[in-house]
Amino acid sequence: MSAPSRRQTMDVAKRITALRRARGLSQAEVSRRLGWSPPNYARIEKGRITPSLRSLEAIAAALDSPLAALTGADPMPPEVPVVAFASAGPGVEFTDQGYPAGGGMYFLPRPPEFTDPNGFGVEVAGDSMVPKYEDGQVVMVDTRKRPVSGDYAVIGLMSGDKYVKRYREAGGRVLLESVNPLYPPVVVEPHEVRFAYKIVWARER
């Protein structure tokens, strides 16, 4: 196997730099996460050092990004599928159309900071999340991130119902909370949750 060319090293360096900036991180912060000295990490971003596979894996983890986003071996799809409608009110269902990585109802350009190749968008329906999310607003989820209590998420239940809600765990149960005080929380048992993905991006209204 031949050694990476100078151009390949620079391409990797540019991808690392772009992802770090998209995360809003400084070189010092990434170095701290890696446990490396800042000068050594800076040399990688400048293309002066060709990182090993192990180093690339560590950097990808520090940037919360798939390895392929750094190597370019599997480029991110340029668009994100908006696969279904989710309920922002009680009892509204939607169907998966290609979930989690297939075609969708329509596509939106991929935000530069949205790095999950299997991520998807959901168009909110209803007013239970107003003013956080409006009816018709698109939110995007990272399928690698399970929400913790207090996170906003897209949640699918074994019953087939799916919601955009604030996710909370309390007393051994899962509460799907609305922002609009007119809507009571949906309370379910943990085994009733089919999936829960953290919302990491919302389209501006």
* pLDDT at 155 exceeding the cut of 80: yes
30-139-127 Cα angle (round to 5): 140
Q: Are residues 67 and 87 in the same domain?
A: no
Domain residues for the domain of 33 are 6-71
CATH of the domain at 26: 1.10.260.40
CA-to-CA separations, 205 to 113, 115, 202, in angstroms, rounded: 19, 22, 9
Whether residue 67 is found in the same domain as residue 89: no
Verify that 140 and 169 share a domain, yes or no.
yes
Is 56 exposed, middle or buried (CB count within 10 Å of its CB: 0-12, 13-18, 19+)?
middle
Predicted confidence (pLDDT) at residue 128 exceeds the cutoff of 60: yes
CATH number reported for the structural domain that contains residue 135 in this entry: 2.10.109.10
> Mind listing the pLDDT tens digit for each residue in 58-97?
999 998 888 887 887 666 677 788 876 655 554 334 344 3
Which pLDDT score is estimated for 96? 43
Mean pLDDT of 135-148: 92
Stronger pLDDT, 129 or 75, i.e. the higher one: 129
Q: Is residue 1 part of a domain?
A: no
Q: Let me know if residue 124 belongs to a domain.
A: yes
107 domain-assigned:
yes
In DSSP terms, 166 is beta-bridged to 152, 177
- At 34-55, the pLDDT tens digits run 999 999 999 999 999 888 888 9
**Count of domains in the chain?**
2
Judge whether 145 and 100 are in contact, CB under 8 Å: no
Model pTM?
Answer: 0.60
